[in-house]
Structure 1
């Protein structure tokens, strides 16, 4: 989910500024210590830490991944304090999500190991789960790795009510973005097809390595009208206005149907391929969205295994 606007940007920070040797390892580090650090500061201040405390006792002494999150998303002590003042409940409520972190870390390490097995050329940057300023939930890119904010992801119950499953699949989705060609994954003004394939590929990889897609609700809201939805999508593939298909979900109005269609296109490509390893490599290397679509064998309403 690049979760760009779809960004459920958690403060899970993955950094790509790694030594070359680290990117070739078959093991990725999943860090959660920034969360514990934040709540030590938070609890010591009775739930009302100052901007100065948040800056100097949390952000300044946090991990490299937290520093990357702060740099990319302008997370400062003042901005966290501002969100705390306006929305104190999200930080109080996020404590419940801390309980799943050990199991999340264990499952993610297993999922990333599976990615390395299926795609040996994978870059394996670390993952850091931290606390941010309420948004975004999560970002993953080839240039900067993955960042995720616990408080933001914890608040997105509409994605999946199962907290552990939500964290694992969203982070697996973001991790998939770190493998994609920047020409597609980081294109500033993608078409509906390009954006949907970038997000759909991340959904497919999340399912492949973690067992489920992250936008699980999309199958339910498209059930019985798959052909109609995809026929409408096919008419919009070259549009650069993404409003109808991507980054338009809200808690009271789940949407983002481009994720679902893109996932089905990528799945069709993978299922039709004889060499699954090469198919996954081609999915990550994809830069020509129309060529990939043509090679996938997808058509509106296609039945997939």
Structure 2
């Protein structure tokens, strides 16, 4: 459900191959799967065989194994995706080259997370190559980013380096969240409000720690339409039909999508802004499992004014709050 977060060879990574340890308190940033894939890709002239892709998967990190298992990534499906969308994999090499700078920026992002949420846990972040989707995944043991998928997602943010930093920050907030976030289809608890708030909190905390949200397109789509969009959301918030608000991107479409992320972000921001103790507010947001309680306490109303971003000073205020 998570974004719910798509790069050359060891030389492009400054000679660093495999697992790289970010400065404490950050997690390991695992890049070996991506570098191995592109070593294979280059050696095979951009057309690795199913057998070679099978070997790539078999020799991968535990993170790649979990990604393959949970997102149905097989050698056959990878080969089909590469034949169908060769440009996605060819273009992914450019994002591989951005990983050293992304890793460096994430050191500060994770330090900011610990500053505003001292309880933070730091399982690894793995950058892998899969079947063209999804962009990212969280599971209890870490975050996995599909390099080629996120690299192709320039509709979220035109700057590839920024895109990786902010999406990884968003996904890493999901790792911290303690409320139930995944439900069986049709579960009455899986409402538009609950799911939107879960994603919106991840967007808001990502903004606090990295400087922006995972999907930068929402700001432009919603400007001047805040009252209209949020009034419609208020009517649907108890619905279990998520499609109008979440996980509804259509490849190639220019229509706004995932507007529930944006409304949830606005509710989370309103909650944070009204709180006297910002660190307590961050903790309450991350640990929330009662969306109606957060909504009521936030004072959110459709179209209400609030600052465009809450970064820097606010993060330091949260860190110093007692």
TM-score (norm 1): 0.89
| 2:53 aligned partner | 54
1:187 has 2:213 as partner: no
Picking from 283, 286, 289, the partner of 1:287 is 289
Once the two structures are TM-superposed, the CA of residue 144 in structure 1 deviates from its matched residue by 4.2
Instruction: Give the Cα–Cα distance (whole angstroms) in 2 for the partners of residues 187 and 207 of structure 1.
Output: 26
| 1:150 aligned partner | 147
Instruction: Give the Cα–Cα distance (whole angstroms) in 1 for the partners of residues 144 and 97 of structure 2.
Output: 20
Distance 1:187 1:281, change over 3 A: farther
| 2:221 aligned partner | 221
Q: Is the 8 A contact 2:63 2:142 kept in 1?
A: no
1:176 has 2:173 as partner: yes
State the secondary structure of the residue aligned to 1:104: helix
Once the two structures are TM-superposed, the CA of residue 174 in structure 1 deviates from its matched residue by 0.7
Instruction: Give the Cα–Cα distance (whole angstroms) in 2 for the partners of residues 36 and 72 of structure 1.
Output: 22
Once the two structures are TM-superposed, the CA of residue 102 in structure 1 deviates from its matched residue by 0.5
Which sections of structure 2, spanning at least 5 residues, go unmatched? Answer: 8-20, 308-322
RMSD (Å), alpha carbons: 1.8
Instruction: Give the Cα–Cα distance (whole angstroms) in 2 for the partners of residues 182 and 156 of structure 1.
Output: 28
Q: Is the 8 A contact 2:179 2:288 kept in 1?
A: no
State the secondary structure of the residue aligned to 1:178: helix
* Range that drifts further, 267-276 or 80-89: 80-89
TM-score (norm 2): 0.85
Instruction: Give the Cα–Cα distance (whole angstroms) in 1 for the partners of residues 146 and 215 of structure 2.
Output: 18
Higher relative contact order (CA 8 A, sep 6+): 1
| 1:234 aligned partner | 234
Instruction: Give the Cα–Cα distance (whole angstroms) in 1 for the partners of residues 86 and 51 of structure 2.
Output: 17
Runs of 4+ residues over 4 Å off in structure 1: none
Instruction: Give the Cα–Cα distance (whole angstroms) in 1 for the partners of residues 175 and 265 of structure 2.
Output: 17
* Range that drifts further, 26-35 or 282-291: 26-35
| 1:100 aligned partner | 98
Q: Is the 8 A contact 1:28 1:125 kept in 2?
A: yes
Instruction: Give the Cα–Cα distance (whole angstroms) in 2 for the partners of residues 112 and 187 of structure 1.
Output: 29
Q: Is the 8 A contact 1:204 1:266 kept in 2?
A: yes
Matches within 5 A, 1:38-77: 38-56=37-55, 58-77=56-75
Matches within 5 A, 1:294-305: 294-305=296-307
State the secondary structure of the residue aligned to 1:129: strand
Once the two structures are TM-superposed, the CA of residue 28 in structure 1 deviates from its matched residue by 0.9
Q: Deviations over 1:223-249 (max 9, x none)?
A: 112112111111110000011111112
Q: Deviations over 1:249-282 (max 9, x none)?
A: 2342232111111000000101111111111111
Count of matched residue pairs: 286
1:247 has 2:244 as partner: no
Q: Is the 8 A contact 2:137 2:145 kept in 1?
A: yes
Q: Deviations over 1:31-77 (max 9, x none)?
A: 21211100111111111111111111x11222221122112112222
Instruction: Give the Cα–Cα distance (whole angstroms) in 2 for the partners of residues 27 and 243 of structure 1.
Output: 35
Instruction: Give the Cα–Cα distance (whole angstroms) in 2 for the partners of residues 254 and 228 of structure 1.
Output: 14
Matches within 5 A, 1:5-44: 10=6, 26-44=25-43
Q: Is the 8 A contact 2:179 2:287 kept in 1?
A: no
Instruction: Give the Cα–Cα distance (whole angstroms) in 1 for the partners of residues 28 and 127 of structure 2.
Output: 11
Q: Is the 8 A contact 1:137 1:148 kept in 2?
A: yes
